[in-house]
Amino acid sequence: MNKLHLRLLAVILLLIGGGATWYKMTALGLPITADSTTQIWTVEARISFQADGGPSQVNFNIPHNPPGFNVLSEDYVSGQYGLARDRDGDNRVAMWTARRASGNQALYYRIQLADDRDSDIDLNSPAPAYPEVPDYPEPFGSAARALLSDVREESADIASFTRRLLLRYNADDPGENVQVLRSGVEGSTAHVNNLIDILAGARIPARAVQILILRDRMRRASLDTFLEVHNGSEWIPLNPVTAERGYPSNVLVWKRGAEQPLTVSGGSGADIEFAAARTIREMVSVAEQRAAQRGASMLMDFSLFSLPVQAQNTYRLLLLVPIGALMMVILRNVVGIATFGTFMPILIALAFRETELAWGIFLFTTVVAFGLAIRFYLENLKLLLVPRLAAVLIVVVLLMAVFSILSHKLGLERGLSIALFPMVILAMTIERMSLVWEEHGAGQAIRQGLGSLVVAILAYLVMFQPQVGHMVFVFPELLLVVLAVVLLLGRYTGYRLMELWRFRHLIMDRKGQ
């Protein structure tokens, strides 16, 4: 029953820890690797017009679930205008209204977007009705029909049909039909509208999509037009010129439909200018912002990222201690390495972080060796335990100071980091080591000392893997998994690796018989 209880507890801990980690990884997009960054686009639209002096209203379409991006934040600079937002079919619209406005007016809309290739592309809006075949004027009509029947021969489905059509329409040496179709059409929007008209001849539902092509530090940019055709189940975006399928990563869908994105009443000379800038940011902060945007911020509000940076840095270190503790459990109970003090090696490993490994080992052995020498001298004075411990502690502190000064004079700045060694722990280690030395012999003392050092090195190597530090900080619930493993190891009754060595003669003896 006891064992079942323990296993149930461990399984529950594993599920909670693993589940929360998995959720944060998949749903919130927290990165698994330490140095993941993503690009953030900040896009700004500037609306300007000349107000008449009476009431004015500005309706401006703003992006709605743009494919390939995650919206991190939106800002409006509205001045005296009241702001309302509304859905408008597949689009979203921002409405600025003012009772009285005159002179030059400027309104700003700013959106922050994170690259997200796997965001759910919202192209599943209700299927449109099949368009009626339009009444084409001649010779447009016969040219369109000829082109459509040519293209139909070469294609399998709506997507490939449209692609062929686009390629033919944009060919360098267009045939006679295409020349007829293209004549008198200027500008990309007009061409797209023309194409929608031609596609209607094949009863293919199509629409124009107004897009912004993002370039870093672009200014005074304007919208471009893309084509989307509906294949019966979803809208398929196509570049109307190159016929490439899908939106490239630098294309932001601003509005679906060919209508002007901006309408102004009570004003004239309306104009929009777009600007964009790209920044690189850490995935973590992006995920955080995204979670807030989605309202799933509970987990993030209570995450370590909500702490002040100073405290965050403390926890970056503290959260590694359980990993060190796990190492201790494994190395002592499964491997069976003898150490001084249960958790002393972890504290040494923490100190190694500041000193770096080679220096850390050197400093540690030096201080312990000097300390031991002094401790053996103190033995002759026959001091009582606590004063003797205090004396060793004082000597350790002095040694550290002398070492720092010497290494500073020699220009070895690393030597200064010795100050970060846990001196009380060092003093206790020296005392314990000297006792073991006296009672169990030098061999035993050195073996345990080396054991402690080896464990400290191994703990250091594991604890200060950037990946490990990142995982426990971003997913602190992983510590529940560590707890579960430690609990399970708490009932490990198998042999320690060292016992294989200890009882080796018994095994060989049995073999011999």
Partner 1 sequence: MIGWFRQLRRAGILGMNERNARFIMLHNQRRNYPLVDDKLITKKRAQEAGIHVPALYGVVEIEHQIRDLPTMLGAREDFVIKPAHGSGGNGIMVITDRQRDNFRLANGVLVGIEEVGHHISNILSGMHSLGGQPDQAMIEQRVLFDPLFEHVSYNGVPDIRTVVFKGVPVMAMVRLPTRRSGGKANLHQGALGVGLDMGTGLTTTAVLKERFVDEHPDTGNPIAGLQIPEWDKLLELAARCYHLADLGYLGVDVVLDRHEGPMVLELNARPGLSIQLANRRSLLKRLEQVEALDEIPADPRARVAITKELFARNNPPTPQAVPP
The nearer residue to partner 1, 280 or 381, going by C-beta atoms, is 381
| Token pair for 493 | 């009754």
Distances 123 to 60, 270, 357, 513 between C-alpha atoms, Å: 21, 31, 55, 77
| Binding range to partner 1, per CB under 8 A, among 27-35, 128-136, 459-467, 500-508 | 500-508
| Token pair for 20 | 């929360």
> Does 492 participate in binding partner 1 (rule CB under 8 A)?
yes
The nearer residue to partner 1, 137 or 443, going by C-beta atoms, is 443
How far apart are the C-alpha atoms of 410 and 387, rounded to whole Å? 34
How far apart are the C-alpha atoms of 214 and 252, rounded to whole Å? 7
Q: What is the nearest approach in angstroms of partner 1 to the Cβ of residue 330?
A: 12
Q: What is the nearest approach in angstroms of partner 1 to the Cβ of residue 503?
A: 5
> Does 499 participate in binding partner 1 (rule CB under 8 A)?
yes
> Does 505 participate in binding partner 1 (rule CB under 8 A)?
yes
> Does 1 participate in binding partner 1 (rule CB under 8 A)?
no
- Residue found under tokens 């004015």: 56
The nearer residue to partner 1, 7 or 278, going by C-beta atoms, is 7
The nearer residue to partner 1, 137 or 494, going by C-beta atoms, is 494
Considering only residues 367-396, where is the footprint of partner 1 by CB under 8 A? 382, 384-386
> Does 152 participate in binding partner 1 (rule CB under 8 A)?
no
Q: What is the nearest approach in angstroms of partner 1 to the Cβ of residue 3?
A: 10
Whether the Cβ atoms of residue 148 and residue 202 lie closer than 8 Å to each other: yes
Q: What is the nearest approach in angstroms of partner 1 to the Cβ of residue 483?
A: 18
User: DSSP per residue over 135-200, as a string?
Assistant: -PPTTHHHHHHHHHHHHHHH-SSHHHHHHHHHHHHT-SS--HHHHHHHTT--SHHHHHHHHHHHHH
| Token pair for 228 | 């989307």
- Residue found under tokens 């972080």: 353
Judging by beta carbons within 10 Å of its beta carbon (0-12, 13-18, 19+), is residue 452 exposed, middle or buried?
Answer: buried
The nearer residue to partner 1, 232 or 490, going by C-beta atoms, is 490
> Does 4 participate in binding partner 1 (rule CB under 8 A)?
no
> Does 333 participate in binding partner 1 (rule CB under 8 A)?
yes
| Binding range to partner 1, per CB under 8 A, among 353-361, 452-460, 471-479, 485-493 | 485-493
> Does 447 participate in binding partner 1 (rule CB under 8 A)?
no
The nearer residue to partner 1, 298 or 386, going by C-beta atoms, is 386
Quick check: bond before 139 cis, omega within 30? yes
Instruction: Give the number of other Cβ atoms within 10 Å of residue 339's Cβ.
Output: 23
Q: What's the full length of the chain, in residues?
A: 513
> Does 219 participate in binding partner 1 (rule CB under 8 A)?
no
Q: What is the nearest approach in angstroms of partner 1 to the Cβ of residue 29?
A: 41
Instruction: Give the number of other Cβ atoms within 10 Å of residue 441's Cβ.
Output: 11
How far apart are the C-alpha atoms of 424 and 68, rounded to whole Å? 56
> Does 176 participate in binding partner 1 (rule CB under 8 A)?
no
| Token pair for 418 | 């010795």
| Binding range to partner 1, per CB under 8 A, among 77-85, 228-236, 277-285, 503-511 | 503-511
> Does 503 participate in binding partner 1 (rule CB under 8 A)?
yes
Interacting residues with partner 1 (CB under 8 A): 333, 336, 382, 384-386, 435, 439-441, 444, 491-497, 499-500, 502-507, 509-511
